[in-house]
Structures are given as structure tokens and as C-alpha cells.
Amino acid sequence: MSLEIKIPEVGESITEVTIGSWLKSDGDYVEQDEIIAEIETDKATQEFPAEAAGILKIKVEEGETVEVGSVIAEIDTDAKKDGASSSSNEASTEKSADTSNTESSEGKKTGEVKEMNVTELGESITEVTLATWLKEDGDYVEMDETIAEIESDKATFELPAEANGILKIEAQEGDTLEIGALICKIEVMEGAPASASDSSEKKAEAKPDAQTSSGNQTYATGHTSPAAAKILAEKGIDPKDVKGTGVDGRITKEDAEAAQKTAKKEASKEQKASQESGPSYSGGISREERKEKMTNLRKTIAKRLVSVKNETAMLTTFNEVDMKPVMDLRKKYKDQFKEKYGVGLGFMSFFTKACCQALKEWPAVNAAIDGNEIIYHDYCDVSIAVSTPKGLVVPVVRNAESMDFQGIESEIIRLAVKARDGKLSIDEMSGGTFTITNGGVFGSMMSTPIINAPQSAILGMHNIVERPVAINGQVEIRPMMYIALSYDHRIIDGRESVSFLVRVKELLEDPARLMLGI
């Protein structure tokens, strides 16, 4: 019998998918629930499992875009792994009976099937993208073992197995999944099957060059971490040419950077050889172009930024701050602060405290629009923009208004480290009421930051530059910073936005008021 394999429903708003890659070739024998392909949507990548055991016949090639419900392959369920027809069923059955006792001693199916769904990841997160499967369909997995990576528009997260058993993949890499959607199933087992160790040995023999330090190859071997993939893509380096040193042979950011340097050295040698052989075409000026596929994360970010511009009445107001009082205070006490608390005294704690105090006085800046209602927050959950290899993320400092300087600095450092390591949870990036972004660390003089929806305002910090200013009728050189407040004019009026920014300026230019709360 020939079984048609169709693209299932992968989300309410998803109407088509792209065949990212086939993990099995046309004519291969596949087991039920074994991962045979990866499919992509505009939000995620998902694995596609075989619905039955048999010979695979591919109908749609890699890179093609098909609608939900389309047939992408067929499986001849009458065919057997060794090529025999269904007439050999009796021999197979006898062999199975002879070995059943041995298998049951190694691992036994309980009959229970554990369904794994996309869990609640945060208040504003409604969908995620399945980035990478670290296990193949049909693999034996253990409880809490990482089997996949999922992405939101803010971060990448590991997906642990919820039971011991055989993995049956329901969603493919690149698929966009709504909260609650089915990702995979696990046929629960008591004990590991003998085939689990046999499979590892066969893989190790088949690809000795990709073995890890432990001698066993896994699905992660040769796969790139999100940060590494970005670096390799930017430099045009094929991951196949890079040897991974991470867990199970995974390609890490350090591996990608090392490969990047190697590629630069080789390019330099080629250029030198070309120059020695004579003048190159057009004097060595390159006219080459290259195209790179936009990541699902970047697509999501792009859509949301355009949405904010189109759906809000965004406006920006500016002011400037004399940073000398803050800088003098830091210079005087930073060593004692570091010695006592173990963290440095940075500018972000001053700005966060100043914003929290100003938000209490101007609550509309800390509010959000929900349909025909305005939600006012009696707390300040401040989102801090952090630059990472994958892009900008905004982890949240909860109840920042109740924290002291040490608490704010410690929390910002903790979140920044997790962000750069790609280990932030959805909860740590969801639910902020106001955002602060510091473009000054990159040398920005002035900008108009875009609101982090559904929030209504964002404060932009910029570079500190010594400029001549008038102080009490005298011209003095002071360290000045431009600050910008972008806000949604639908909820925040000009009086409130300007007054908020002036209040922040006053508090920063007289930091003693921050300590006293006046």
C-alpha cells in the first residue's frame, strides 16, 4: 500500500511551508516516526516524521514552497527494510518472536505515548519557530535530554525530553508553531533498547571523521549553534568545512570565529598570489554579489518593527544631560562599591532609577494600549536592550522601582551574560513596561529608537561627548549626553513626554535626589 505524506496544519496563520532539506533520499527505507525531512515557515524550522515504515518516494524537492495539505512524499508500506515484499512477513514475524525476549530485557514499551506541546513562554509570546532538531525521528531519548532548539523573536531555547522512549517528530525545522501546538511524541519505554547503542556504533563507523571526543556521533555533530551559524553565514563559510568542538561535535561560536580567521588567512594568501602573478581584472575591484536567506528570527523582528511604525503614532522628543555629577559620583565611590557588592557601578543603574522615579510621576509613559482600554502599571518592569551575536534582545528587570543600585547592576549583568550565551528564558524577556536602550556604547550621537510593542515608550541613551556649555553665565567643558524618548502619541501627550524627559534630566544632574527619592 502506498501512503501519501501531506503537510499538516502547523498554525492558524500558516498557509504554506518550504521544504528545507530531505534527511532521507528517494528510495530509502524509513521507520515509522523517523525524521525524514525539515520544513520551514516564516517563523520556524520543524522536523517532519514518517507516518509509517516503508520505502520513501519523494514528490517535492528541497527549496520548493508548498501549501498546507500538499503531498510531499509517498511511503510504500508493503516494502521491507531488506527489500523483500510483504510475502516475507512470516519469516520476519518468526525472527521477531525469537528476539522478543532479549529485547524486552533491554527495553520495553509501556504503551503510553507522551505528547510534547509548545508551552506558555511569556505573556506576549503567541508563536515560536522550531530551529533545530538535535535528535532524529525514531531515536531513543532520555528524560530531560535536550532534543531540539526553539526560537521566539527574542531568544533561542532548548527543548528537553519529557520522558524516556522513542522520539516521533511531528513538527519540522523552520515550522512556526503556536502555543499549545504539538511538537513531537515519545513512545514511553522502561529501560533503553539494545538498538540505541547499536545505532550509535553504526553511526560512528559510517562517519569516523565526525566523531566526538567520546567516540559517539549524534545528530548534533556538525550542527551549528545560532551564534555560530550567523558568523559562518556572514562570512560565506560552509559549516561542513568547520570541525565542531562543542558537545557531541556541535559547532560553537568559538569554532566559527576560528574558521573565520582561517578563511581570512587563506583569502589573504590567494590575494597575494594573485598580485604576484600580475594585475587582476579591473584593478582588483570586486563586483561580486551574494544572497543570503533571511533567518526566521530576523523576519519576525522586521515584521514587528514595521508593525510598530504603522500601528502607532510614534514621536520622539530630545534633551541633553550634563553627566558630570554622575561621573564624579562614580569616580569617587566605584572602588568601594565594587569591593562591597562585587559588581561595578555603571550608568545603567542611574538611568534605571531615574526612569522608575519619573514613571511613577508620569504613569502614562509606563502604560500600554489594549484594544479600547489603557493598562496602567503600578510597577516598573524595565526592559534593557542587550546586543548579542543573533541580534538585539530585551531582557526585563522586574520591579526595578524597588531595587537599589546594587540590585539593578547585579540583575543587568546576570541578564546580559545569559543573553550573550543564548540562555535567556522567554519569561526573562516578556512583560516589560518600559525600555532603555544604550546606543552610546557603539558611539551613537543621536537616534530615534523604535518602541518595543506593546509598550508605549522607550528611552535612548547616546554617546557622552565633552562640549562647551553655559554654566552660571560661564562657558565650561562638560561631558554631555543627548537622550531621546520615543513614545506613542495615542496615549502619551507632548506635555507628559517632555515633562518625563526633563524629570530624568533633573535626577541625573543631581543624583543625590535619586538616593532621597525627591
The strand pair at 140-141 and 165-169 is best described as: antiparallel
What is the distance between the alpha carbons of residues 516 and 248, in angstroms, rounded to a whole number? Answer: 54
Q: What is the pLDDT of residue 101?
A: 46
Question: Could you tell me if residue 112 is inside a domain?
Answer: yes
- Domain shared by 245 and 100, yes or no: no
Q: What is the CATH number of the domain that holds 205?
A: 2.40.50.100
In sequence order, the 6+-apart residues with CB closer than 8 A to the CB of 309 are: 450
What is the distance between the alpha carbons of residues 178 and 117, in angstroms, rounded to a whole number? Answer: 9
Using alpha carbons, list the distances in angstroms from residue 171 to 95, 130, 263: 33, 8, 35
Burial 152-172 (b: 16+ CB within 10 A, else e): bbbbbbebebbbbbbbbbbbb
Confirm whether 493 is a catalytic residue: yes
Question: Could you tell me if residue 305 is inside a domain?
Answer: no
Question: Could you tell me if residue 301 is inside a domain?
Answer: no
Question: Could you tell me if residue 293 is inside a domain?
Answer: no
Question: Could you tell me if residue 303 is inside a domain?
Answer: no
What is the distance between the alpha carbons of residues 163 and 187, in angstroms, rounded to a whole number? Answer: 8
- Domain shared by 100 and 181, yes or no: yes
- Domain shared by 58 and 25, yes or no: yes
- Domain shared by 327 and 254, yes or no: no
- Domain shared by 360 and 397, yes or no: yes
Question: Could you tell me if residue 48 is inside a domain?
Answer: yes
- Domain shared by 402 and 317, yes or no: yes
Contact by Cβ (8 Å): 3, 79: no
Question: Which residue in 175, 421, 489, 510 is the catalytic one?
Answer: 489
Q: What is the CATH number of the domain that holds 346?
A: 3.30.559.10
Contact by Cβ (8 Å): 485, 500: yes
Provide the number of structural domains found in the chain.
3
Using alpha carbons, list the distances in angstroms from residue 136 to 23, 93, 171, 193, 212: 9, 26, 12, 16, 18
Q: Is 137 helix (H, G, I), strand (E, B) or coil?
A: coil
- Domain shared by 259 and 406, yes or no: no
* Sheet of 35-40, strand order: 65-67, 16-22, 35-40, 45-49, 173-174
- Domain shared by 189 and 246, yes or no: no
Q: Which three cell numbers stand for residue 133?
A: 532538531
Q: What is the pLDDT of residue 68?
A: 82
- Domain shared by 182 and 261, yes or no: no
Q: Which three cell numbers stand for residue 287?
A: 563586483
Q: What is the pLDDT of residue 43?
A: 54
Confirm whether 489 is a catalytic residue: yes
Whether the bond into 454 is cis, omega within 30 of 0: yes
Q: What is the pLDDT of residue 213?
A: 40
Q: What is the CATH number of the domain that holds 259?
A: 4.10.320.10
- Domain shared by 244 and 198, yes or no: no
Contact by Cβ (8 Å): 7, 70: yes
Question: Could you tell me if residue 220 is inside a domain?
Answer: no
Q: What is the pLDDT along the chain (518 residues), one digit of tens a residue?
A: 788 888 887 665 577 788 878 888 888 888 888 888 888 776 566 778 888 888 888 988 887 888 888 888 888 888 766 554 444 444 444 444 444 444 444 567 777 888 998 887 665 567 788 888 888 888 899 888 889 888 776 667 788 898 888 999 999 888 888 888 899 999 888 776 665 555 555 444 444 443 444 445 544 556 666 667 767 777 778 777 787 776 567 787 777 777 765 555 555 555 555 555 555 555 668 788 888 877 666 777 788 888 888 888 999 999 999 999 999 999 999 899 999 999 889 899 999 999 999 999 999 999 999 989 999 999 999 999 888 777 778 899 999 999 999 999 999 999 988 888 878 887 888 889 999 999 888 888 999 999 988 899 999 999 999 999 999 999 999 999 999 999 999 999 999 999 999 999 999 999 988 887 77
Which structural domain range is residue 189 located in?
Answer: 2-209
Q: What is the pLDDT of residue 228?
A: 72
Q: How far apart are the first and last CA of the chain?
A: 79
Q: What is the pLDDT of residue 88?
A: 43
Question: Which residue in 76, 153, 493, 510 is the catalytic one?
Answer: 493
What is the distance between the alpha carbons of residues 489 and 457, in angstroms, rounded to a whole number? Answer: 9
- Domain shared by 195 and 237, yes or no: no
Question: Could you tell me if residue 307 is inside a domain?
Answer: no
Q: Which three cell numbers stand for residue 212?
A: 566526538
Please give the DSSP secondary-structure letter assigned to residue 162.
S
- Residue 189's closest CA among 161, 162, 160, 165? 165
- Domain shared by 406 and 338, yes or no: yes
